[in-house]
Structure 1
Amino acid sequence: MLAERLVPSAKDIASALNISAFNVGIAGGSTLGSYSVYDMNYLDTAWIGATIVGFALILAAVNYRLDKKQHLFEER
Structure 2
Amino acid sequence: MKDEPISSYRWSSDKPTKPGWYWFRGPAHEADPFIVLVDQAGEFQWPDGGFQEVSLANGEWAGPIEEPNE
TM range (shorter): under 0.3
Tell which has more relative contact order, 1 or 2 (C-alpha 8 A, sep 6+).
2
TM-score, normalising length from structure 1? 0.19
> Which structure has the greater CA radius of gyration?
1
Larger relative helix fraction = 1
Larger relative strand fraction = 2
